[in-house]
Amino acid sequence: MDKQHGSRLSELFGSLGSFFRKCMFCILSMGPIPNHFAFIMDGNRRYAKKEKLEEGAGHRAGFSVLMSMLKYCYELGVTYVTIYAFSIENFKRKPDEVQSLMDLILEKIEGLLKEESIVNKYGIRVYFIGNLKLLSEPVRVAAEKVMKATAKNTKCVLLICMAYTSCDEIVQAVHESCKNKWEEIQPCNSHKSCSGRVEEVDGKSIDDGSGHSVQELFGVQTNELRATRASTLCNDVAEGVEMSDKKSGVVGHAVHGSCDKWGEVQSLEASRIGDDVIPNVKSEKLLEDLSILKVVDIESHMYMSVAPNPDIVIRSSGETRLSNFLLWQTRNSLLYSPNALWPDMRLWHLVWAVLDFQRNHSYFEKKKKQF
């Protein structure tokens, strides 16, 4: 009898809490609502130490809070949520702790596939973001299974950063961009692909097959043309070396970027005037258009290219460091740092973050337009 009475009270308070949240979220919705939340879940171990819990209990408490935060976000109308679950740097912790975390992560990942899980309740598509090949095989297989199972969900998106650091993301994006660009320009290095080679490599002039040198085609001097070996650029960038011309500030330019661009060169050649030289204005613009690597190329190869940049980054425990998390994507994001440890985070922390976002919304919109 007492159990039934307690159960009814629990249901009553649960219903009242849900009604209260709906009312509060309706009021918040009168202002701008963030489209993308990012969470750095800091303080799990400190919480366990503070509460004198056994090792790993803090992370389990943190997972429970995460589920509540996800529910609040999706009820509020937030479309994207990103969580920093496991950094590459975390592999440097004690082996027993790493294994314990991997076991917990595997358990929770498998739980996402259950019918009553939050993923199925809110129609969430799940992405695992990071260098997944660093994960153990059971965790990686489970992650891939969840991504495949939720691929058709379209209401909300959950991005789980595992084996992730922003530096690793940027390096692999530059590497993939260089590789793709090299594959694009490679056909034009072949005489069969294009009717002539229009390239200068290591300062050597190469004819196009018709007796005209590259310099004649473009109307510029040899030292003003720089064709980049994409493979070398790729390796150097991966090592953190920037191949740049100190005089011109050019990172790397190719005379042609594709066979389509070669057609543009031919049309310019046909329109040569005066002393068979193309005006420098045209040639300089063409060189600019054929720039090998652009920001958009790098961004398209980022792990996080599947989602817009975060509007708010919330880091618990009062820390204001990003700790190598979404460094590229957060230049116009609000950073909110409540003093509470992650397992102590509650609804009102999320509400304050939204109110802070609304208060600063016009400022961030102006900053975005400047880029």
- pLDDT per residue over 158-205, tens digit each? 999 999 999 999 999 999 998 888 877 766 555 444 444 444 444 444
pLDDT band for position 345 (cuts 50, 70, 90) = very high
Lowest mean pLDDT among 14-23, 200-209, 223-232, 292-301: 223-232
Residue 156 sits in the same domain as residue 127: yes
User: Is the alpha carbon torsion for 285, 287, 290, 291 positive or negative?
Assistant: negative
9: tokens are 């009270």
Q: Please indicate, yes or no, whether residues 152 and 225 belong to a single structural domain of this protein.
A: no
Residue 6 inside a domain? The answer is: no
pLDDT at 251: 39
**pLDDT value at residue 55:** 81
Q: Are residues 149 and 70 in the same domain?
A: yes
Q: Are residues 282 and 329 in the same domain?
A: no
SS3 assignment, position 167: helix
Compute the average pLDDT of residues 239-246. Answer: 40
228 in Cβ contact with 186 (< 8 Å): no
* Residue 345's CATH number: 3.40.1180.10
Domain co-membership, 35 together with 149 = yes
Per the structure, the count of domains in the chain is 2
Greater confidence (240 vs 55) lies with 55
Residue 243 and residue 321 in one domain: no
Q: Does 370 reside within a domain? A: no
Q: Is 38 helix (H, G, I), strand (E, B) or coil?
A: strand
Q: Is residue 330 part of a domain?
A: yes
Lowest mean pLDDT of 94-98, 182-186, 206-210, name the range. 206-210
Residue 8 belongs to some domain of the structure = no
Q: Which residues of 17-44 are buried (b: 16+ CB within 10 A; e: fewer)?
A: eeeebeebbeebeeeebbebbbbbbbbb
Residues spanned by the domain of 130: 31-168+303-357
User: pLDDT value at position 117?
Assistant: 83
- Per-residue model confidence (pLDDT) at position 189: 54
Quickly list DSSP for 253-288: B-S-SSHHHHHHHHHHHHT-BTTTB--HHHHHHHHH
Poorest-pLDDT segment among 151-165, 284-298, 301-315: 284-298
Task: Please report the pLDDT score of residue 280 as a whole number.
Answer: 54
- Residue-averaged pLDDT of the chain: 78
Strands (E), the chain: 36-40, 80-87, 124-129, 156-164, 312-315, 334-336
Asked whether residue 203 falls in the same domain as residue 250, the answer is yes
Model confidence at 138: pLDDT above 90 = yes
Cα dihedral value 274, 278, 280, 284, nearest 10: 170
Q: Is residue 123 in some structural domain?
A: yes
Cβ–Cβ under 8 Å, residues 142 and 110: yes
Q: Residue 281: what pLDDT?
A: 55
208 included as an active-site residue: no
Q: What is the pLDDT of residue 267?
A: 54
pLDDT above 90 covers a percentage of the chain that reads 54
Maximal C-alpha separation, the chain: 103
**Is 173 within the bounds of a domain?**
no
- Strands (DSSP E) contained in 286-355 are 312-315, 334-336
- Of these residues, 2, 42, 289, 344, which one is catalytic? 42
Q: Are residues 270 and 338 in the same domain?
A: no
* pLDDT band (50, 70, 90) for residue 66: very high
Q: Is the pLDDT of residue 94 over 50?
A: yes
Separation CA 255–CA 167 (nearest Å):
31
Q: Are residues 223 and 125 in the same domain?
A: no
For the residues 355-369, what does the mean pLDDT come to? 89
**pLDDT for position 184:** 74
Are residues 153 and 67 located together in one domain of the fold? yes
**DSSP string computed for 285-303:** HHHHHTBS--HHHHHHTSG
**Whether 58 and 144 share a structural domain:** yes
C-alpha–C-alpha distance, residues 178 and 12, integer Å: 59
pTM above 0.75, yes or no: no
Average pLDDT score over residue span 133-156: 94
Q: Tell whether 155 and 62 lie within a shared domain.
A: yes
Q: What mean pLDDT is predicted for residues 91-114?
A: 91
Do the domain assignments include residue 175? no
124 has pLDDT over 90 = yes
Amino acid at 182: W
Does residue 116 lie within any of the structural domains? Answer: yes
